[in-house]
């Protein structure tokens, strides 16, 4: 897919620009919603938008001016971008931040690129499958393809169930959900990562399930959502009244996360790499 190649190149170029700033001292601004903003967010945004504007599709980025819903509701296909997902991790310099680029069609992410600049690791998902590439720097397009490893979700836990959840900010609903899982699978191991890396862990089978009972925006999840789907997983809307098992049997009582809503705030969700 030519459009996906453009997105991959944009993510890698943005990642290189981000690392230049990451290795220096930088100032932090704060937006109206109190979320942090750095020159790296701005540089990444400019690089990605310039690249994606060469395609036939409009672009919605976290750092763009707001696009009125009455305009974007007519977008059957568009790019959804988070120039740096995990700006707080960027500021902490713990390396757990990503560049996220998703292609959305009729409310569903059909392709996604997640680049982890500090780890020099790329995740890509599309209708053709899901891949992970490590050591991207200096590789040509053909070398990236040659170095790509196909990834897939766990399907069923291999030993101890691995749940992505914050040990320090684990709320009552999350604990109740994990308790349900443990009744079925035994004691779970909690693992934690920043940004969209949490979804990518499920996509590559490094974790089995990720309940997110806390606020996120559509651009936070879309690219990694595409990778999860391509790897054989699902991203469901969370419902506290539904049994945890429903999220890996995919019953009709659970709905997938959708995009381009009037309100760009995501509902709570569950990323599942489990299936019957």
pLDDT of 276 > 70? The answer is: no
Instruction: Give the pairing type, strands 77-85 and 59-61.
Output: parallel
Ranges of each domain in the chain: 2-150, 162-272
Predicted confidence band of residue 249 (pLDDT cuts 50, 70, 90): low
HEC per residue, the chain: CHHHHHHHHHHHHHHHHHHHHHCCCCCEEECCCCCEEEHHHHHHHHHHHHHHCCCCCCEEECCCCCCCHHHHCCCCEEEEEEEEECHHHHHHCCCCCEEEEEEEECCEEEEEEEEECCCCEEEEEECCEEEEEECCCCCCHHHHHHHCEECCCCECCCCCCEEECCCCCCCHHHHHHHHHHHHHHCCCEEECCCCCHHHHHHHCCCCCEEEECCCCEHHHHHHHHHHHHHCCCEEEECCCCCCCCHHHHCCCCCCECCCCCCCCECCCEEEECECC
**Each residue's pLDDT tens digit, 211-248:** 999 999 999 999 999 999 999 999 999 988 888 878 77
**Each residue's pLDDT tens digit, 174-204:** 889 999 999 988 999 999 888 899 999 999 9
Contact, 44 vs 86, CB < 8 A? no
DSSP-assigned beta bridge partners for residue 122: 115, 133
> What pLDDT does 242 receive?
84
Predicted confidence band of residue 104 (pLDDT cuts 50, 70, 90): very high
What mean pLDDT, rounded, does the chain reach? 92
CA distances from 78 to 101, 202, 238, 242, 263 (A): 11, 25, 25, 32, 17
pLDDT of 253 > 80? The answer is: no
pLDDT of 252 > 70? The answer is: no
Rounded Cα distance between 166 and 154, Å, is: 21
Predicted confidence band of residue 250 (pLDDT cuts 50, 70, 90): low
Rounded Cα distance between 124 and 147, Å, is: 13
> What pLDDT does 65 receive?
78
Predicted confidence band of residue 36 (pLDDT cuts 50, 70, 90): confident
pLDDT of 168 > 90? The answer is: no
pLDDT of 251 > 90? The answer is: no
What tokens were used for 213?
Answer: 């009972």
CATH superfamily of 2-150: Fructose-1,6-Bisphosphatase, subunit A, domain 1 (3.30.540.10)
> What pLDDT does 275 receive?
79
Predicted confidence band of residue 71 (pLDDT cuts 50, 70, 90): very high
Contact, 265 vs 215, CB < 8 A? yes
Phi, psi (deg, nearest 5) at residue 211: -85, 130
pLDDT of 169 > 80? The answer is: no
Average pLDDT over residues 52-62: 97
| Reported pTM | 0.95
**Each residue's pLDDT tens digit, 3-30:** 999 999 999 999 999 999 999 988 888 8
Rounded Cα distance between 202 and 227, Å, is: 10
> What pLDDT does 184 receive?
86
pLDDT of 39 > 90? The answer is: yes
The CATH architecture assigned to 162-272 reads 3-Layer(aba) Sandwich (3.40)
> What pLDDT does 192 receive?
87
């Amino acid at each position: 897919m030519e459009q996906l190649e453009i997105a991959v190149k944009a993510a890698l170029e943005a990642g290189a620009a981000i690392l230049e700033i990451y290795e220096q001292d930088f100032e932090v601004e704060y937006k109206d919603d109190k979320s942090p903003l750095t020159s790296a967010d701005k540089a990444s945004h400019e690089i990605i938008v310039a690249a994606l504007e060469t395609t036939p599709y409009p672009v919605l980025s976290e750092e763009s001016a707001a696009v009125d819903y009455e305009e974007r509701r007519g977008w059957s296909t568009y790019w959804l971008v988070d120039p740096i997902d995990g700006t707080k991790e960027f500021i902490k310099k713990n390396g757990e931040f990503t560049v996220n680029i998703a292609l959305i069609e009729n409310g569903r992410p059909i392709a996604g690129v997640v680049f982890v600049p500090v780890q020099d690791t790329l995740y890509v998902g599309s209708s053709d499958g899901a891949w992970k590439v490590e050591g991207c720097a200096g590789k040509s397009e053909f070398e990236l393809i040659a170095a790509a490893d196909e990834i897939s979700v766990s399907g069923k836990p291999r030993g101890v169930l691995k749940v992505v959840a914050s040990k320090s900010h684990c709320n009552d609903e999350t604990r109740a959900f994990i308790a349900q899982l443990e009744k079925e699978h035994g004691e779970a191991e909690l693992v934690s990562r920043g940004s969209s890396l949490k979804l990518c862990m499920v996509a590559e089978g490094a974790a089995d399930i990720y309940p997110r009972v806390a606020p996120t925006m559509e651009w936070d999840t879309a690219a990694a959502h595409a990778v999860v789907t391509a790897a054989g997983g699902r991203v469901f809307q969370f419902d506290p009244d539904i049994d945890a098992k429903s999220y890996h049997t995919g019953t009709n009582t659970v709905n997938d996360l959708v995009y381009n809503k009037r309100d760009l705030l995501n509902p709570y969700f569950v990323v599942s790499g489990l299936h019957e």
